[in-house]
């Protein structure tokens, strides 16, 4: 690319960048303000509608209590249901909102009287209805959970009143039933749109859809857990406006608020595409302005630069054609002189002469320095890589040594008190048995020699203090404590075996035992991610450094667990090959891409996030296996899993 072209492009880029940055900042501010305004508007709608529903519930609850005071408790108690029915008929005229009617249930939940009357339903029990059970529980009127009325088949919302006589005794439960979808009440609210296609819906803590524009979804639980994250979050307490994807997979802008006086939640939502349509149009307009403005400014810049950079363009071309001196050149000075001779026509140029001379001098200096530094850089890079690898291995080995020493110390410190605990638990079991035998003998003597009053008093005291339960529970507690102590002892032995203290020498070991000890130590890392399946063969004793092989097994098992995203399987198999043994560790995790398989054993190579891996684990594991005279291979398929195969000579190798 010529200097003229670069100058022209730089000019165009500066103009475009200036316009672009200004447009971007303006667009970001506008978008932020627009979104906040849209969020606040939708949240205000949700709050207003929540308060409106809350007012409706509060007023109808008060109305239900008023109707309850209109009902004659005396007539109800005497079974004068005709009089009570007339009172309900009059209440229907005063409170038309209860269009679905009134009904009164007995303290046992049977239908005594209703209006409009349904004689065929009277006498039937409705004690199973939650509104009846909650009214008896609270001894006050409540707002029931919406349901389909057994009397009318309508979707209804029931407000109850707790009916008592003059002595405060329960004589019945009054139900005031409002049609949930009546156009004059809550039903009209669900039909009100937000924008063109937005709408509101109401549901309760049991995920029951109470109000929805679609009649088929009312009184259903058709939003399963996880289908709509913000739907679930609102049940857990989220309030306010945000963006989400609804249970039908449509991106939505939604606001959630609590309905006062209930466990209901109202959601007001509008398709994101509709809510932000104006924002999209404005963004396009700004983008078009930046593009056309940049093109126009660029055209002007091209014309101006073209007239003033002709000779500079020639100098630029010659400078670009200067070759880089090679360190392998036999005559470096001759090569530099040949290249700088191309600049000679410009040395006496009135405007660009000083620039040409400066370029010539810089080229000469840089050429010599570059040729000398290339070889030095190559040597330094090789030395640096070797030093970095050695340093990483030393740090890893020192860390493992410290961990082993710490593990041995912890095991030793735990062993002593665990010995006391185990011994004391055994002694405690014997002592408590003697105490129970002594107590039983006292009771037997009391039965034989004591008077009846004393025996009854002792029997009541035994029952009050739950002596029989205590005897059984003490045995269980001691048994569980012994089992826990034994488990701690086993863990300590495995931890001690894994450390460098007890097995710091070359030894003959059963690798199946080494694998089991390592699995015990890695159990907390593995148990939540994978199920371990073992297929051990009969193995001869292998001469090796056990603690080093334990480190290899631990690296492979932890890596296998981390490669499994949810829950999978880790298979461990061992096989006797005669003069060799083979250990295979297989997982069904995410697998290793083909391009990474060749680099898996290279020092410092890792696919983990920064801070979660040094890239030395597999490198050190490979080195340990090779020092033992063995080999380690890996086979993997993305999405299927990975298998690491280790072969070791039975006679071992001391590296």
Average pLDDT, the chain: 82
The pLDDT, as a whole number, for residue 501 is 40
Q: Which CATH number fits domain 505-649: 3.40.50.720, 3.30.565.10, 3.40.50.2300, 3.90.1170.20?
A: 3.30.565.10
Classified as helix, coil or strand, 207 is coil
Q: What is the mean pLDDT of residues 350-354?
A: 72
Classified as helix, coil or strand, 205 is coil
Q: Which CATH number fits domain 3-59+193-278: 3.40.50.1370, 3.60.20.10, 3.30.450.20, 1.10.600.10?
A: 3.30.450.20
Percent of the chain scoring above 70 in pLDDT: 83
Report d(CA 570, CA 527) in Å as an integer: 10
The pLDDT, as a whole number, for residue 264 is 94
Specify the range with the lowest mean pLDDT, choosing from 136-140, 194-198, 285-289, 516-520: 285-289
Q: pLDDT tens-digit profile of 204-253?
A: 999 999 999 998 999 999 999 988 899 999 999 999 999 988 877 889 89
The pLDDT, as a whole number, for residue 185 is 73
pLDDT band at 135 (very low <50, low <70, confident <90, very high): very high
User: Which position has the higher pLDDT, 461 or 569?
Assistant: 569
Beta-sheet pairing, 507-509 with 530-535: unpaired
The pLDDT, as a whole number, for residue 503 is 47
Asked if residue 567 has pLDDT above 70, the reply is yes
Query: Among residues 113, 74, 69, 121, which one has the least CA distance to residue 95?
Result: 69
The pLDDT, as a whole number, for residue 47 is 95
Asked if residue 1 has pLDDT above 80, the reply is no
The pLDDT, as a whole number, for residue 512 is 93
Domain spans of the chain, in order of start: 3-59+193-278, 71-179, 392-495, 505-649
The per-residue DSSP string of 221-264 comes to: --S-TTTSHHHHHHHTT--EEEEEE-TTS-EEEEEEEEPTTSS-
**Which helix (DSSP H) or strand (DSSP E) does residue 647 occupy?**
strand 641-649
Asked if residue 314 has pLDDT above 90, the reply is no
Neighbours of 454 (CB within 10 A): 11
The pLDDT, as a whole number, for residue 411 is 62
The pLDDT, as a whole number, for residue 357 is 77
pLDDT band at 305 (very low <50, low <70, confident <90, very high): low
The pLDDT, as a whole number, for residue 500 is 47
Report d(CA 580, CA 375) in Å as an integer: 46
Q: What is the mean pLDDT of residues 612-639?
A: 83
Residues 6+ apart with CB under 8 A from 264: 53, 202, 203, 204, 210, 258
The pLDDT, as a whole number, for residue 490 is 66
Q: What is the mean pLDDT of residues 596-621?
A: 71
Specify the range with the lowest mean pLDDT, choosing from 18-32, 174-188, 504-518, 558-572: 18-32
Q: pLDDT tens-digit profile of 49-85?
A: 999 999 999 999 999 999 999 999 999 988 899 999 9
Query: Among residues 108, 157, 112, which one has the least CA distance to residue 133?
Result: 108
Specify the range with the lowest mean pLDDT, choosing from 487-491, 584-588, 613-617: 613-617
Task: Tell me which architecture the domain covering 71-179 has in CATH.
Answer: 2-Layer Sandwich (3.30)
Asked if residue 330 has pLDDT above 60, the reply is no
Query: Among residues 318, 367, 370, which one has the least CA distance to residue 341?
Result: 318
Specify the range with the lowest mean pLDDT, choosing from 41-55, 213-227, 350-364: 350-364
Q: Render the burial of 520-539: b for 16+ CB within 10 Å, e for the rest.
A: bbbeeebeebbebeeebeeb
Asked whether this chain's domains 3-59+193-278 and 71-179 adopt the same fold, the reply is yes
Measure Cα distances from 458 to 93, 450, 461, 464, 465 in Å.
69, 10, 5, 10, 10
Percent of the chain scoring above 90 in pLDDT: 34
Asked if residue 106 has pLDDT above 90, the reply is yes
Report d(CA 142, CA 135) in Å as an integer: 6
Asked if residue 2 has pLDDT above 60, the reply is no
The pLDDT, as a whole number, for residue 410 is 65
The pLDDT, as a whole number, for residue 288 is 80
Q: What is the mean pLDDT of residues 486-492?
A: 69
The per-residue DSSP string of 583-637 comes to: EEEEE-SS---HHHHTTTTSTT---SPTTS--S-HHHHHHHHHHHTT-EEEEEEE
Report d(CA 24, CA 32) in Å as an integer: 12
Q: What is the mean pLDDT of residues 336-343?
A: 72
User: Which position has the higher pLDDT, 606 or 495?
Assistant: 606
């Amino acid at each position: 690319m010529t200097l003229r072209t670069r100058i022209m492009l730089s000019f165009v880029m500066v103009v475009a960048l200036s316009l672009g940055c200004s447009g971007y900042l303006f667009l970001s501010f506008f978008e932020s303000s627009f979104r906040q305004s849209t969020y606040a508007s939708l949240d205000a709608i949700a709050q207003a509608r929540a308060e409106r529903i809350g007012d409706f519930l509060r007023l109808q609850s008060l109305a239900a209590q008023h109707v309850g005071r209109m009902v004659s408790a005396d007539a109800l108690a005497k079974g004068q249901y005709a009089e009570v029915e007339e009172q309900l008929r009059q209440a229907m005229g005063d409170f038309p909102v209860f269009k679905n009617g009134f009904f009164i249930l007995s303290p046992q939940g049977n239908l005594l009287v209703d209006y409009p009357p349904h004689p065929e339903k009277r006498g039937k029990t409705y004690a199973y209805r939650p509104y009846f059970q909650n009214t008896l529980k609270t001894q006050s009127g409540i707002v029931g959970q919406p349901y389909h009325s057994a009397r009318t088949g309508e979707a209804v919302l029931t407000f109850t009143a707790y009916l008592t006589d003059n002595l405060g005794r329960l004589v019945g439960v009054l139900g005031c039933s409002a049609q949930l979808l009546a156009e004059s009440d809550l039903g009209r609210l669900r039909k009100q749109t937000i924008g063109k296609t937005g709408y509101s819906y109401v549901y309760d803590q049991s995920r029951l859809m109470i109000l929805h524009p679609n009649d088929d979804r009312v009184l259903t639980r058709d939003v399963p857990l996880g289908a709509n994250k913000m739907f679930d979050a609102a049940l857990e307490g989220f309030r306010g406006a945000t963006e989400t994807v609804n249970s039908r997979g449509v991106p939505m802008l939604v606001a959630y608020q609590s309905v006062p006086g209930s466990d209901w939640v109202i959601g007001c939502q509008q398709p994101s595409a509709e809510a932000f349509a104006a924002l999209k149009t404005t963004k396009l307009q700004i983008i078009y302005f930046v593009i056309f403005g940049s093109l126009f400014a660029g055209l002007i810049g091209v014309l101006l630069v073209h007239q003033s950079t002709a000779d500079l363009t020639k100098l630029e071309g010659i400078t670009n054609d200067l070759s880089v001196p090679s360190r392998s050149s036999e005559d470096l000075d001759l090569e530099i002189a040949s290249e700088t001779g191309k600049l000679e026509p410009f040395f006496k140029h009135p405007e660009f002469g000083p620039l040409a001379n400066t370029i010539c001098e810089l080229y000469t200096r840089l050429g010599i320095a570059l040729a000398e530094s290339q070889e030095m850089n190559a040597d330094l890079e090789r030395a640096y890589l070797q030093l970095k690898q050695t340093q990483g291995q030393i740090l890893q080995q020192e860390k493992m040594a410290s961990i082993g020493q710490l593990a041995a110390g912890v095991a030793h410190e735990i062993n002593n008190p665990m010995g006391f605990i185990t011994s004391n638990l055994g002694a405690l079991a014997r002592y408590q048995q003697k105490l129970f035998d002594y107590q039983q003998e006292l009771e037997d003597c009391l039965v034989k020699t004591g008077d009846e009053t004393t025996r009854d008093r002792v029997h009541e005291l035994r029952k009050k203090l739950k002596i029989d339960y205590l005897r059984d529970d003490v045995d269980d507690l001691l048994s569980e404590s012994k089992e826990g102590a034994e488990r701690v002892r086993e863990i300590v032995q495995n931890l001690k075996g894994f450390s460098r203290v007890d097995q710091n020498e070359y030894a003959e070991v059963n690798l199946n035992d080494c694998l089991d000890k390592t699995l015990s130590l890695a159990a907390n890392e593995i148990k939540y991610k994978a199920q371990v399946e073992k297929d051990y063969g009969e193995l001869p004793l292998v001469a090796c450094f056990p603690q080093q092989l334990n480190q290899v097994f631990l690296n492979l098992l932890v890596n296998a667990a981390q490669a499994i995203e949810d829950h999978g399987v880790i298979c461990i198999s061992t096989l006797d090959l005669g003069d060799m043994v083979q250990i295979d560790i297989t997982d069904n995790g995410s697998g290793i891409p083909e391009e990474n398989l060749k680099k898996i054993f290279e020092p410092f190579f890792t696919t983990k996030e920064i801070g979660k891996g040094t890239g030395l684990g597999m490198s050190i594991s490979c080195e340990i296996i090779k020092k033992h005279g063995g080999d380690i291979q890996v086979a993997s398929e993305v999405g299927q899993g990975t298998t690491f195969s280790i072969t070791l000579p039975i006679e071992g190798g001391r590296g």
